Amino acid sequence: MKALLGNEPIKAYLEKAIQTDSLHHTLLFSGMEGIGKSLYAKALARRLLDCCETRVQKELHPDLHILRPEGKSGLHPVEQIREMIAEIHKPPFEAPKKVFIFMDAERMQPVSANALLKTLEEPDLDSSILLLSSAPNEMLPTILSRAVHLAFQPLPKDAIAGYLQEKRTLSLEKAHLLARQSHGSLGAALRLLDDEREETARNLLFSALDGKRSPYTAIEEIEALFEDLEGIDFHRQVEWLLAAYLMRARDAELAREKGPSELLYYPLDIPSPLSLDQAHARVLRVRLALERNVRLSACLHLILA
């Protein structure tokens, strides 16, 4: 766990809880996408399972169970939750205990969350449950009340830049640019570096906001970029785009207030009238529309209209 980047207080808490055998049966790791929650969860799983790193990273250990949202909707199906509950009450296969990691735990429908609730109320002593979420406010309060909540903080930009320089041999300028645009998420910085789709979609959106491109053309091109995505991958990509839209609105307000240009996340070639309150209201409408399976093109019209 020592090699993990950032969030030292959480690292210290987990180390002490392991050493004193006082780790709570259910933990909630919350924080933005790409901040290190899954890395911490797997590092903790390795310690609890008392096994080598390879078996955990490749998810080959019989007592490690990782649950991910499934299907086009990108939700945890209730059948998956019920299978996990049945597995919890079985003895470990070879490790001292079993570890269950819920990726994107907020993407449980109420029926799935309620199925899990009784297990959290009457936990099995040889099982640990790790809930990972970038939106814990969307989880049932009854689930939240059964877990110890560890809130992961954005990583320092210098730490992200240093990692990119060391591991990806980037120039100082490129590393700091990606660190600034990642908003404290190493995962976001790596995505920007490795996948041009996110940057392309953002540039299309911004060009439409600035009046450099027809909104209809931008919407068609963004939809084409995302057409091969489904389920949780689609929802994540849209959320990253919405986050960039909100940061653009934040930059616009900062520019109107004559704030320091070095605090801008994205360059503003054209003054924007977009207010942060307006942007938040539009993003909320988009999220509601996506929950109702409205097409992405119609959703994007809500922020480019």
User: pLDDT of 181-210, one tens digit each?
Assistant: 787 888 888 887 887 888 899 899 999 988
Phi, psi values for residue 282, rounded to 5°: -70, -40
> CB of 186 within 8 A of CB of 158?
no
Q: In Å, how far from its chain's centre is CA 285?
A: 20
Asked whether residue 130 carries a pLDDT value surpassing 80, the answer given is: yes
Asked whether residue 13 carries a pLDDT value surpassing 80, the answer given is: yes
Helix (H) or strand (E) holding 193: helix 186-194
> CB of 54 within 8 A of CB of 205?
no
Asked whether residue 166 carries a pLDDT value surpassing 80, the answer given is: yes
174-to-25, 155, 196, 285 alpha-carbon distances in Å: 42, 17, 15, 35
Which one has a higher pLDDT value, 118 or 92? 92
Selection from 126, 151, 150, 145 nearest residue 25 by Cα: 126
Q: For the chain, state the CA radius of gyration.
A: 21
The rounded distance, in Å, linking the Cα atoms of 261 and 275 is 18
C-beta atoms surrounding 152 within 10 Å:
20
Task: Please classify residue 50 by burial: count the beta carbons closer than 10 Å to its beta carbon, then call 0-12 exposed, 13-18 middle and 19+ buried.
Answer: exposed
> Has this prediction a pTM greater than 0.85?
no
